Amino acid sequence: MEISKAVQLAIVFSGVFLWIGMLTGVWKYWQIRRSELSRAHYYVDIAHRSSLLYAAATLTLAALSYFTVLSEDIALWCVLANILFFSFSILVYIIHGFLQDTSNQFKQPHRLGHLSLPTWLMTLMMIALIITELLATAILLMGTILLFFR
């Protein structure tokens, strides 16, 4: 059975995100045990939960890539685009959890450790994330719908 690179990559990253979710779950538990309020840092919790959600989302991308009528190259680019932004999001959450520098990355000034990021940069990153994830997923979804409802 021939499995496309897009499907292979999505399955592998689904496993990677699941594993990161498990590791951040251990980190979350460790912080809960050490906290007087029995809580982990806000972004440790977000890193844990988002990793698990992105694992499932990436597995869905694998299924859409498997059934799409689109070319293998288009499917691969759509999967790569989503994986890039999923990975970047998880990394940012882990960094905020490690640095414990904010409980809301959108609160101004935008903190990243001792740095203050410009508002335009945060806006640009969010617009890029929204457009890329929605468009790449819509393309894969349409390719699958075309297979099932021709």
C-alpha angle 7-12-2 in degrees, rounded to nearest 5: 35
The amino acid sitting at 23 is L
The predicted model gives 105-114 an average pLDDT of 89
Q: 150 pLDDT band (50/70/90 cuts)?
A: confident
User: What is the pTM assigned to this prediction?
Assistant: 0.93
Assess contact for 10 and 57: CB atoms under 8 A: no
Query: Is the pLDDT score of 27 beyond 90?
Result: yes
- The greatest distance separating any two alpha carbons of the chain, rounded to the nearest whole angstrom, comes to 59
The residue ranges of every structural domain in the chain are: 5-148
Three-state SS letters, 90-125: HHHHHHHHHHCCCCCCCCCCEEECCEEECHHHHHHH
Assess contact for 90 and 20: CB atoms under 8 A: yes
